[in-house]
A and B are shown apart, each in its own frame.
Chain A
Amino acid sequence: MEKILQVKDLELSFNTFGGEVKAIRGVNFDLYKGETLAIVGESGSGKSVTTKSIMRLLPENSAEFKNGEILFGGRDLTKLSDKEMQKIRGKDISMIFQDPMTSLNPTMPIGRQITEPILKHQKISKAEAKKVAIDLLRLVGMPKPELRMKQYPHQFSGGQRQRIVIAISLACNPQILIADEPTTALDVTIQAQILELMKDLQKKIDTSIIFITHDLGVVANVADRVAVMYGGKIVEIGTVDEIFYNPQHPYTWGLLSSMPSLDTSDAKLYAIPGTPPDLLAPPKGDAFALRSEYALQIDMEQNPPFFKVSDTHYAATWLLHPDAPQVEPPATVVERMKKFPGSRYYEGGAVYNGR
């Protein structure tokens, strides 16, 4: 598969009054054409900062690239000038933000907001742009698009506004679409509609999606691959089945067992103890070690490298080192592993074939 975006050893810090906040501490991943990569993690894990650094939307006076590169179309995005970046933003890479209430301009009819990127990036007339905009609205399932073009954001519901935001982001057929918690502010029923819409559109225009969320249910629904972030690093990356049915990192175990499934009994819910690390002074070894009951001595001293689980599945935990003791994951995770061929708990039956 064709790699469309490569993030290599990315390190980024914010200079604040309190000192240097190491928000991203060495992130590596590739994005393939036409796939959906979900990035999960709790707030402060660096998932939004990673994507905002791809878009170069971070404040230049405090955010600083320390190391690494972001390769897109043979160019390193970290080194481009503002002018060059403006040609890419909204055209080749576009973004959907979390809050549809604030990402639209309340003083502008939505028609103008949709034609804006089209007129900016493509050499076509206003009348043609309007036609494109109406088609886009129809594409995202908006009834009576001709009439609605003249209306203002406050005349739409939350779900409709998010559809408009999606229409704007798709206006120039981007190669990469970054969706930063696009459904968090929406109801489950509306969320389901928006997710279906995004999957449909992806098939139609063959764009790659980076999907940021902390809702593992949504991840299971949309993702082809999943990257789990913690403390400014990716701690585990793999296909959606590998992450959900054969997770290797204790943090992934914690995340998966802290969500009640619909058949969770009355037993106590597993809660990851403690709070995320302070990135002003990141811990020396594995950032998750202090909250993990599976931490080894070496976790406190040395940062674990990525260990290969399969060709597509990597996890940064010393537990995968040949000399590490074999540990028993939490019961709910073992239950999941029983369904995955290749895991040591596999019990036969249900074999998953990717999409």
Chain B
Amino acid sequence: MADKLLEIKNLKQHFNVGKANEVKAVDDISFDIYRGETLGLVGESGCGKSTTGRSIIRLYDATSGDVFFEGENVHGKKSKKDLKKFNRKMQMIFQDPYASLNPRMKVMDIIAEGIDIHGLAKNAADRKKMVFDLLETVGLNKEHANRYPHEFSGGQRQRLGIARALAVDPDFIIADEPISALDVSIQAQVVNLLKELQEEKGLTYLFIAHDLSMVKYISDRIGVMYFGKLVELAPAEDLYNNPMHPYTQSLLSAIPLPDPNYERNRVRKSYDPATHNYTEADNVQMREITPGHFVQCSEKEFESLKAASAVR
């Protein structure tokens, strides 16, 4: 687990810089992603989780900060050739399987687009075989290659999106809410597929979602974002059993569980950022409370959290 695949350092992504309506979508966040793990990223809409994913893969040019992929800076100036090499290693699966596939292209060409760009196929027959293999990997069959996206159901389309991401044999995949547009019964199919592929190919995932129960199921570690900042980062079990940041606690208390008796007794906590009473001198930053469990807090809060977790 110690092998860092990706290091994100002080990443900032601000929009409309210098204007009255400047938005700090991602505001100075740092974290590492280890090889072979799944890092879940949760938070409410508008908290910057998708922007974080998009900045990492350079769909946006970051305002400041660095992203190191296998030790190489992704956001440094790079030639087209270097970028292409990097693009091959990092791929993305999008939220909406209806909007992310070109309706005028056949499945064969959608999946092979990356193969063509990177020149991975030796000849037409090889290209065809690669697409057929990919379709099989994601649980579709080769007859599907000659169809158009509209001929598929939502779950099948998401499988196509996964096949397309896998086509260039990446190491790292950013999955931006890959299941939230799907039905419950289909969600489980897609999540199982993602897990299987991870085991087979040793993939690393950044899994962005707001469905916390699914995130917990698929992730090794989870980061919680609130208004552009990472407020807590911890191993999945740890985060659920012992959430330390008040926002995480309120988020967890809001998830409805399929258990009527639990629901009757659920007490929802609400979060008010004003209760922290931070001042300039507080030096609010991510601090490690227990090994691997980071919380955004002031020095005073750090001491009390540390004392509280020592009792546990």
Contact = CB atoms under 8 A, between A and B. Distances in A.
Contacts of A258: 184-185, 187-188
Interface stretch (B8-16, B79-87, B104-112, B262-270): B262-270
- 5 nearest A-B residue pairs (beta carbon): A217-B256, A271-B188, A216-B258, A260-B217, A187-B44
Given A42-B186, A272-B185, A215 B213 contact: no
Most A C-beta atoms less than 10 A away, residue of B187, B192, B256, B263: B256
Given A271-B188, A271-B192, 16 more contacts: A187-B210, A188-B251, A189-B44, A189-B254, A241-B261, A244-B258, A245-B260, A260-B214, A262-B213, A262-B240, A262-B255, A262-B257, A269-B188, A272-B185, A272-B188, A352-B260
A188 B85 CA distance: 39
B188 A220 contact: no
Contact of B184 (A42, A191, A196, A350): A42
Most A C-beta atoms less than 10 A away, residue of B185, B191, B216: B185
Interface string A254-291: 11101111101000111111010000000000000000
B97 interface: no
10 contacts: A188-B254, A189-B251, A192-B256, A217-B256, A220-B257, A244-B258, A258-B187, A262-B257, A269-B188, A339-B261
Contact of B255 (A158, A217, A255, A268): A217
B149 interface: no
Given A217-B255, A260-B213, A264-B217, A254 B261 contact: no
Contact of A190 (B44, B184, B212): B44
B256 A259 contact: no
B250 interface: yes
A86 interface: no
A350 to B, nearest CB: 7
Contact of A271 (B189, B262, B268): B189
A216 B214 CA distance: 13
A257 B127 CA distance: 39
B106 to A, nearest CB: 21
A58 interface: no
A256 B257 CA distance: 11
Contact of B261 (A158, A215, A260, A350): A350
Contacts of B189: 271-273
A221 interface: yes
Contacts of B216: 260, 262
B272 interface: no
Q: For the complex, would chain B's binding face be called helix, strand, loop or mixed by DSSP majority?
A: helix
A220 to B, nearest CB: 4
Nearest to B271: A189
B183 A221 contact: no
B153 interface: yes
Contacts of A229: none
Contacts of B184: 42, 214-216, 255, 258-259
Contacts of B262: 220
A191 B254 contact: yes
A324 to B, nearest CB: 24
Contacts, number: 114
- The number of chain A residues touching the other chain, given as a range, is 35 or more
Given A216-B184, A258-B188, A269 B259 contact: no
Contact of A219 (B217, B240, B258): B258
Given A221-B263, A258-B187, A261-B259, A188 B210 contact: yes
A42 B183 contact: yes
A343 to B, nearest CB: 15
A259 B261 contact: no
A269 B256 CA distance: 19
A218 to B, nearest CB: 5
Contacts of A215: 184, 256
Contacts of B217: 260, 264, 269
Interface string A208-228: 000000111111110100000
A220 B255 contact: no
A195 interface: yes
Interface in B234-265: 240, 250-251, 254-264
Given A191-B256, A244-B258, A220 B192 contact: no
B263 A220 contact: yes
Contacts of A261: 213, 257-259
A269 B254 contact: no
Nearest to A240: B260
Interface in B177-216: 183-189, 191-192, 195, 210, 212-214, 216
Given A260-B216, A260-B217, A221 B256 contact: yes
B155 interface: yes
B45 interface: yes
Nearest to B156: A275
Contacts of B214: 260
Nearest to B183: A42
A355 interface: yes
Contacts of B213: 217, 259-262
Contacts of B153: 275
A188 B240 contact: no
Nearest to B256: A217
Contacts of A254: 185
A195 to B, nearest CB: 7
B259 A220 contact: yes
A244 B210 CA distance: 24
A286 to B, nearest CB: 16
A256 B255 CA distance: 16
A43 B188 CA distance: 15
A198 to B, nearest CB: 13
Nearest to A275: B153
A192 B258 contact: no
Interface string B209-230: 0101110110000000000000
Contacts of B156: 275
